[in-house]
Structure 1
Amino acid sequence: MNVSPPARDAMLDLLSADGPDPEHADALMLYGRLVGTWEISNRYRFPDGEWRTAAGEWRFGWALGGRVVQDVLHCPDFMGRYPGTTVRMYDVNTGLWTITWISPKLPSYFTQTGRSDGAGGMIQEGTDAEGRRSRWTFTDVTPTSFHWKGYSEGPDGELTFFQEMHATRTSL
């Protein structure tokens, strides 16, 4: 069964928000400052140990009443025509972010908790679908660029660097 464009558009209208929830706007800007479209240069270490690079696009937007920052990451050379998405929900009770990344095509699934790194960036820590520890960082965050790095637990139990993206804003 195909979903008609009006039904799809109605679903997206319910999902999207015009901006942050005013009651928590300051706290929501930790990730909210990323809302917009970014061109990325992606470098990823594949299971064979080889590093490969590819260009892509990363779009961030407000969702679910403005308490969520959701993104869509599309890097066709790595992911084919199917993007992945991250949902970052601000928890008003803890002041932390509950984060879920999914990419059904890869497949890939991470759950993490996010917070400020105390130096102007963000740090996210959690696990992947196999229960291995993960850490993702956003550093050098400015209105026009940021640097993202991904780490995953290796066989020795240590976190191993496996991916980085340099992002340049193309639109708000």
Structure 2
Amino acid sequence: MSTAVLAPPKQGRRGPPRGSLYVPASPKDQPPKSARIVKDRRARGVEKTSRARTVYLTGEVKVQAQQKATKADTSLAVYTREAWDRFLAGKLIPQPPLRAVRNSGIVKEKFVQWEEDEYWAQLTSRCQQATEELGFRVNPSSIAEQHLRALTGLENPARE
């Protein structure tokens, strides 16, 4: 009997595999943050017509609001949606944004939120109306920023 020697598997041009990709099988297997986001989306009844929308927030505001959301066992998406609902209802009047001083180190960070197309169209059209009425640019990010600053107690950075 001859003993067969197995050759090592071919690695190809890309190198050896680097591990497996973990994909949760059910909501029970998801990490806590993902589970909260899924729960929030299901509670609001997000349809297939929703898309990922990018909101830009100042780094300190994003961190403070996320900490507050974690303590309240919710997500940052709930707070931004609350801001937009208040704006559409006329309960939140946009304030002119203060620009950061050059080289001040204030950085805007991305936050991605799923919103329905119909709601987003209504929000952006109301932002355009407010821009024309108020004389400065109003967008969903500035509304969310203003509401989150009020919610967390942070003040707007002063312009020099």
What range is the shorter-chain TM-score in?
A: under 0.3
Q: Which has the higher strand share?
A: 1
TM-score, normalised to structure 1's length? 0.24
Radius of gyration: which is bigger? 2
User: Relative contact order: is structure 1 or structure 2 higher (C-alpha 8 Å, sep ≥ 6)?
Assistant: 2
